[in-house]
Chains A and B, each alone.
Chain A
Amino acid sequence: MADSTLPIHGSLDLTPPQEREQNLIEILHSWVITVDHKKLGLLYMIMAIFFLLVAGLEAILIRIQLVVPDNHFVSPATFNRLFTMHGTTMVFLVGMPLVFAWGNYIIPLQIGARDMAFPRLNSFSFWLTFLGGVLLYYSFIGGPGLYGTGSAPDITWWAYAPLTLKAFSPGNAPDYWALALLTTGFGTLGGAINIIATVVSMRCKGMTLMRMPLFCWLLFVDAALILVTITPLTAAQVMLLIDRYLGGHFFDTQAGGSAVIWMHFFWIFGHPEVYVLVFPAFAIASEVIPVFSRKAIFGYPAMVAASVGIAFVSLGVWAHHMFTVGMTSAGNAFFVLSTMLVGIPTGIKIFNWLATMWGGRIRFATPMLFCTAFLFQFLIAGLTGIILSTGAWDWQLHNSYFVPAHFHYVLIGAIVFNVFAGIYYWYPKATGRMMSETLGKWHFWLFLIGFHVTFDTMHFVGFEGMPRWIYTYPADRGWQHLNLVISIGGLIQAVAILVFAWNLISSLFIGKKAGNDPWDAWTLEWITPSPPPVYNFATEPVVHSRRPLWDLKHPEDPDWKYD
């Protein structure tokens, strides 16, 4: 334990914890009633990983259906349900809980607080989110409703009107969808309020905003974005339910209502949502890359400014999802330009991460491997994004497989890769044990290969004109070889995920003891024991620079001399 020589003993309560034997019921009960930010963070994480496996299984079923032409592995109706549930689950039950998993576990530890600002609201938000997941999956059995039609929503995750109206989607499946999104939406709002109040009001002494770790900055901006992003969806869901239950006409085209306004309302939520999901990935990269390059982050103020800039610009780009709907040329031009504008602050971020690595003594442990792959993949995802932002290109490629290829490059190539980096990085803190590096490298390389086999190929099948959402395709279109390759890549990724799951569970029992600070890192969470005690810090820390643990370890050359 490298940290045992550090003069931090005074800040820790070193009396061994008096643990009483608890039986299983007591342990489960303590997890259900918990208001501790660390336990809630882990609950969010467990929920996200569980639904990641569920939605991943749905993706595998989709790929089995598409592996050969004229396949009938599942029925067409089931196929529609599979991609609807895959998308909805991944966004609302995997991506959003992950935001709060990181936010809850890490933020109070990094800013030197004992808990979030509102611990009970925190617990309430988690259980609302969880209830949303239960509601959505209950639709598999509860969906038939009184009319006996349908099971699980088959309206796609953006649920365009008028397909969602009672006349076209009878039964209760779309209602479960809308209610699940309303419920998780309120949970998300509560979580976002908590993150903002924590960052603004709970920082320890000396932790000014410009000394805060970038991780906290990014989740702070993320939470602010959530406030104005998830709420339009809530409003739209209320309107949809009014239409379906009270006979309203918001999206009822036969009574003068507009189907296009649903698209606007949905994408006003839907596009910033992508940034909501990707910000935690940025946050993780901003912690992992400096620590494993042995250099302070390059251009901290520019990183903060770029994050805030992305958040603002992302609110004005939503209609690039709608170029094919038929907007005015002025409208098209506006959304082309605003979308391209996002490339500037995002480019600043990529250059700053690269500059952090430049000249550093890079240590390619598993977290750093995932972050390095993230940089390359996120760059490509950004470039295909610029391609799609060009209205004329979009007319050609919209609704082809090029689009899922692009956004899966963001969602998996950037977000999931960094989530894995974050799990490998903070697992020792949360459990006290290291994850296996050997299995970690197997996981990384298998997942990297599987990812590229699937999603690189998907771009080309999109160029060849294969539309999204089709149930099957005839053999004479020339798509079957590429589809076979895509499906094989999916299987490789599934194997990688199994390696990861095995690593996650087995390391809990046989992993090497981690100690407080296995990575020789610089932020406050690494002075607490692993796992941290309920109260985090026995006494409130005081910080004088962005890297308090660097100051502690290098009293002859502290950061605060240069601030």
Chain B
Amino acid sequence: MSAIPLIPGGAEQEWHLPSRGRVGMYCLIIGETAIFTIFVVAYVFYIGKSLYGPTPQILEVPILNTICLLSSSVTIWLSERAIERGNMRGFGLWWAITIALGAIFLFGTGMEWYRLIYHDGLTISTNLFGTTFYSLVGLHATHVIVGLIMLTTVLIFTATGHVRAEHSERIQVLALYWHFVDAVWVVVFTVVYIVGR
């Protein structure tokens, strides 16, 4: 007898509850969304309020970066599908491509910042635009870095054979985080490079 009914004759019934991993990750995403919202509000509130230059016109739209990051959502979805079907080679391949795309994005952001700092003379303390730009884009980049560390950890364990098909649930929970990081970029991109420029 696996369970003691608290009343006699209580019939066994179907009892399914959502996965706690998914619920936990969705909660984290809601909390993170609130953090990003505050930074986005600060960015929008301070558009055009800098007392001196440089202004957002010096920004170049990072099209290649955006394509890389957004397509990494597709590749991670492909790897999720692969591990669900037990195709570990396909999983590892798509997972590695996801990491590469994320790394390209991060490298592109680094190049952009290098140009802004050394060519345009914009740092976080230059003016309000610098403060809000580096903190909002930097907050997102921090999330990309954290995501890449977690994805790379999984890749290492995949290479050593520790990640198996039965872990697909956990992989999908981690992938949720990566999808979130991509979705946030859509908002950051729109606010910083389209609305604010």
Contact = CB atoms under 8 A, between A and B. Distances in A.
Nearest to B132: A250
Interface string B15-36: 1011110011001101110110
Contacts of B153: none
A257 interface: yes
Contacts of B7: 544, 551-552, 555, 558, 560
- The majority secondary structure among interface residues of chain A is helix
A250 B139 CA distance: 15
Contact of B42 (A196, A229, A250): A250
A558 B5 CA distance: 14
Interface stretch (B53-61, B68-76, B121-129, B162-170): B121-129
Nearest to B48: A256
B30 A228 contact: yes
A558 to B, nearest CB: 6
Contact of B124 (A203, A238, A242, A265): A242
A140 B24 CA distance: 37
A197 interface: yes
A386 B50 CA distance: 40
Contacts of B12: 205
B6 interface: yes
B131 to A, nearest CB: 4
Given A206-B13, A227-B30, A255-B51, A235 B38 contact: yes
A246 interface: yes
A314 to B, nearest CB: 14
B31 A256 contact: no
Contacts of B135: 238-239, 242, 248, 250
B34 to A, nearest CB: 4
B24 A118 contact: yes
Given A205-B13, A255-B51, A11 B30 contact: no
A440 interface: no
B27 A193 contact: yes
Contacts of B5: 542, 544
B6 A205 contact: no
Contacts of B161: none
Contact of B125 (A189, A229, A249): A249
Contact of A117 (B24, B28, B128): B24
Contacts of B51: 255-256
A197 B10 contact: no
B160 interface: no
B23 A255 contact: no
Given A539-B4, A551-B6, A552-B6, A196 B128 contact: no
Contact of A248 (B8, B23, B34, B125): B125
B118 interface: no
B20 A200 contact: yes
A231 B33 CA distance: 9
A246 B125 contact: yes
A539 B2 contact: yes
B185 interface: no
Contacts of B6: 11, 541-544, 548-549, 551-552
Interface in A228-246: 228-232, 234-236, 238-239, 242-243, 246
A196 B31 CA distance: 12
A199 to B, nearest CB: 9
Given A200-B20, A202-B17, A192 B27 contact: yes
A193 B28 contact: yes
A231 B10 contact: no
Contacts of A346: none
A301 interface: no
Closest 5 CB pairs of A and B: A247-B125, A235-B38, A201-B20, A231-B34, A248-B131
Interface of A: 8, 10-11, 117-118, 121, 189, 192-194, 196-198, 200-203, 205-206, 227-232, 234-236, 238-239, 242-243, 246-250, 255-258, 261, 265, 268, 539-544, 548-549, 551-552, 555, 558, 560
Given A232-B35, A541-B3, A544-B10, 9 more contacts: A118-B20, A192-B31, A196-B24, A250-B128, A255-B51, A265-B42, A268-B38, A539-B3, A552-B6
16 contacts: A194-B24, A202-B17, A202-B20, A205-B12, A206-B10, A231-B34, A232-B34, A232-B38, A235-B39, A238-B139, A239-B42, A242-B131, A250-B42, A539-B3, A540-B3, A548-B6
